[in-house]
Chain A
């Protein structure tokens, strides 16, 4: 996170120096050729699985299993039709509900906490700030067994509510931490003026700090939504009936016993990947500034 701030600061400096990067003028012809060869290889490596997924989702089963055709002869929507006619719509809705709830919780609670830690002086705030870093780094794999008991204990086993309860563990520490580092960069003078004018602390947070922190709030929203949407392990452990599955879990339960319905699988995979991919594409600039080092678990 600190690296992010560092990087975005220097990026500005790099720009003002003029557009001649060290690269082009200085590197030899051999390296230029190598660069372009590597570029082609990397693009193919990245793109081929996506292309294969999209093509398979519009091929007929005959084309997938018998003909091995590379390109489909016609665009076949049958996989999408049968997919959306089944339970897939319920799973999409579950995922949307859980992700939106986790996002709203993370932004609201994260902003309150981050504001208190950066602006108010009280005992314990340093310990809390440190605790957030530690807890952010605790892997899910260490937590799912005891959380399974917690979820059962509060009577939420096999409900969408269980996921709304546990997903903030994935998002809240990082969101609070990221908002803290952004709040620190906002000048206090603005807030002091408003406080003198009789604005309350919460008024200051919601009327002055939050509007100024919109870029960070956007990153936090994106992070929480996609982390929750993409999550699999907790969904696997805490839910199991058809009606409570999220879309990532539903996808794994679509398999037949022995036969793989690849056309339908790929159609499902494509729809599942669409919301996070669209969001990242639209907000790429913001994300690259805000999420570097410490961002999405990868």
Chain B
């Protein structure tokens, strides 16, 4: 508190500076100086581009050219009969929903297992968190190889004569989507496991002891003590993972490049195809903007949660 006590005595030089201090706070000069780099970077590279994306979505603009205003034409084009937008939206929902549900189930099962008194517990935890540390490009390539005709799955089929032909996972929409979900789940589950594990360790042991005395079975203790205790962690994890899973185009880019026949083209990938290889920045931005209402809801929920916990 030394600083605040000294402040009134020191602040004699001018009336102007003392008014500023009163309005802006006693340490505004140094404070603003220190946060300036963060604020400038966030404003210039996050807030400004976001606003720019909104403006861009109302323009027809090709890479390297100046834009012209076209009003809602970019958005209107998304709803025309031959537009891939609607399909991409359903694909995004399908892939994200499938991946989130699977990550939840595997994540909670994994956390339950790792929460037991296992021999070499830390080793197992370390191993199971590994997929999370690996770059998305690497996990996608390793799995592309796993699913390839020269990979182990088709290798087993050939060696043991299980089927007449190889399985071409990425030539058939009915196989490509589940295969993609497998890869996303493999890479993303450790994040859930880790959060659930931490959440489980925060649940009071007394609750379990009380439930045991009341004669609750292991399964009932899980349903009535573990799950309710984890509820806040589940909400935050699910929201974060939904945002990241739906927005992440890297595994799709590497595994299927959106194919076969757009079956795995999600909205972020469609936005990329339109804007960068397709050179239509405005139309690409409009596709990205159609995801904003969805993210806005998730982010508002999430910030309220995170700030409340703070």
Contact = CB atoms under 8 A, between A and B. Distances in A.
Contacts of A138: 46, 50, 295, 299
Given A50-B130, A281-B126, A42 B113 contact: yes
Interface of B is mostly: helix
Given A146-B56, A298-B191, A116 B126 contact: no
B187 A298 contact: yes
Contact of A142 (B110, B155, B212, B292): B292
B195 A46 contact: no
Contacts of B35: 112-113, 116-117, 125, 128
Given A137-B243, A176-B38, A252-B137, A122 B31 contact: yes
Contacts of A266: 141-142, 145
A271 B132 CA distance: 16
Contacts, number: 354
A24 B272 contact: no
A106 B96 CA distance: 30
A24 B116 contact: yes
A142 B134 contact: no
B306 A133 contact: yes
A14 interface: yes
Interface string A1-38: 11110110011001001010111101110010001001
Contact of A145 (B117, B146, B275, B306): B275
Contact of A23 (B116, B126, B130): B116
Given A26-B212, A113-B35, A232-B136, A269 B205 contact: no
Contact of A294 (B34, B128, B145, B306): B306
B202 A7 contact: yes
B138 A272 contact: yes
B205 A145 contact: no
A297 B208 contact: no
Contact of B130 (A26, A134, A135, A277): A277
A100 interface: no
Interface residues of A, number: 114
Contact of B142 (A50, A232, A252): A50
A284 interface: yes
B56 A145 contact: yes
B211 to A, nearest CB: 9
B109 interface: yes
A237 B212 CA distance: 57
Nearest to B310: A2
Given A27-B218, A49-B139, A280-B129, A116 B31 contact: yes
B281 interface: yes
Interface of A: 1-4, 6-7, 10-11, 14, 17, 19, 21-24, 26-28, 31, 35, 38-39, 42-43, 45-50, 52-53, 56, 64-65, 68, 109-110, 112-113, 115-117, 120-125, 128, 130-135, 137-150, 165-166, 168-169, 172-173, 176, 181, 192, 195-196, 201, 226, 229-230, 232-233, 236-237, 248-249, 251-252, 260, 262, 265-266, 269, 272-273, 276-277, 279-281, 284, 288, 292-298
Given A125-B35, A133-B306, A142-B291, 4 more contacts: A112-B35, A145-B275, A272-B137, A277-B130
19 contacts: A7-B198, A24-B117, A35-B116, A43-B128, A52-B146, A109-B37, A116-B30, A130-B303, A134-B303, A141-B267, A142-B53, A142-B295, A146-B48, A146-B50, A149-B56, A172-B41, A236-B276, A269-B141, A276-B135
